[in-house]
Amino acid sequence: MSTTNSIGIVRAQRAQFDTPLTFRSGAVLPRYELVYETYGKLNADKSNAILICHALSGHHHLAGHYADEPKNIGWWDNMVGPGKPIDTDKFFVIGLNNLGGCHGSTGPSSIAPETGKPYGASFPMITVEDWVESQARLADRLGVKQFAAVIGGSLGGMQALQWSLAYPERVRHVLAIASAPRLTAQNIAFNDVARNAILTDPDFHGGDFYQHNVVPTRGLRLARMLGHITYLSDDAMADKFGRELRTGQLNYGYDVEFQIESYLRYQGDKFAGMFDANTYLLMTKALDYFDPAHDFGGDMNKAFARSKSDYLVISFTTDWRFSPQRSREIVQTLLHNRRNVSYAEITSTHGHDSFLMEHPHYFDVMRAYLDNVASEVSR
């Protein structure tokens, strides 16, 4: 069973990069660190490496647990491990925390060596393209010239797509799950409301809240509450919560009345207590900015003309944040460019969150595709 064989004890590693990184915005980061984890063994010809790119609130800790934190299980432990769809007996799997993140890689809450203070508002606006550059340097460091696959869900899927555009020779397979070629106006709108919740929180202090010893908890909490609505389907919410009352009766006040309110507020509070507000802002902007067609007059087909990878695209029927229609747009663009592309539209009630959940059909598709990828690499 894919749930049982956890990879066990893992540990995070760090890589320091001292060559300046120029961002798409023009900003330059003189040096930075990335925190990452690896699972499985790189084979002799270094052909079995898989990179996993994370979504908005993800990080490097994909699978297993730390020796001193047995309950801190990786966020994709159901997918990554020995005998699991992303099989660490066959692949050398890399997870990293993206630049700008708040789980150990250099980000807005890191101390800037130039000033001795947190970067805060001075951390550059980052794009999916910039992330792929920073990831390519990590691949160089690990000796990986070409990935067997780059895999990601949601914002992670955008990074996987971008890998095949920026480095067509360095990625044999792209797995883009619950993703989109670029955001719609509605997507951007949701992100902008979330951002405005943070930006207008009096405790945000223009992004330099660290020095004030406060955290824009209110804004971050609202952003996460809103996010959660869009990650779940209407039906899933109805099934899970319906109109169930927390105390079994109406209390006619602004405290929690319905269980759905309790759930949302709990999720918001939990997130606001551990996530960095500036990282949240950066991640949502990276989502907004990603548009491979932007430099090609809006023509997505032209943008993907340079791609050489094979692709697996997966969507979920009730995902309305990154709907199947958006995945089909990716597929159409790839077919137009005569790429090998497999597409699976998984029937699931769990909305956008489906990509994180263990679903037999979804996992079977992943396993079957990656078994083929594994057959191409030497052991």
List contacts with a copy of itself (CB under 8 A).
Answer: 24-27, 124-125, 182-186, 188-190, 192-193, 195-197, 199-202, 218, 221-222, 225-226, 228-229, 232, 234, 237-238, 240-243, 250, 252-254, 257-258, 260-261, 264-265, 268, 281, 285, 288-289, 291
User: Smaller CB distance to a copy of itself: residue 145 or 294?
Assistant: 294
CB of 200 to a copy of itself, least distance (A): 4
Q: Coil, strand, or helix at residue 95?
A: strand
Pairwise CA distance, residues 324 & 327, whole Å: 5
> CA torsion angle for 89, 4, 156, 325 (degrees, to 10)?
110
CB of 257 to a copy of itself, least distance (A): 7
Tokens, residue 256 = 């929690």
Pairwise CA distance, residues 182 & 287, whole Å: 8
User: Smaller CB distance to a copy of itself: residue 86 or 194?
Assistant: 194
Catalytic residue among 352, 353, 354, 359: 352
Residues 220, 279: contact at Cβ < 8 Å?
A: no
Catalytic residue among 2, 319, 323, 350: 319
CB of 336 to a copy of itself, least distance (A): 20
Strands 13-17 and 28-29: unpaired
CB of 287 to a copy of itself, least distance (A): 12
Of 128, 110, 127, the residue nearest 119 (C-alpha)? 110
Helix (H) or strand (E) holding 17: strand 13-17
**Residue 352 is among the residues annotated as catalytic for this protein:** yes
Pairwise CA distance, residues 261 & 263, whole Å: 5
Distance from chain centroid for Cα 131: 11
**Residue 234 is among the residues annotated as catalytic for this protein:** no
Q: Which residues contact 365 (CB under 8 A, 6 or more apart)?
A: 312, 314, 344, 346
CB of 258 to a copy of itself, least distance (A): 5
Backbone φ and ψ for 115, nearest 5 degrees, come out as -115, -20
Q: Which residues contact 252 (CB under 8 A, 6 or more apart)?
A: none
Which residue is it, tokens 């956008």? 352
CB of 44 to a copy of itself, least distance (A): 43
Of 219, 58, 36, 32, the residue nearest 110 (C-alpha)? 32
Catalytic residues: 154, 319, 352
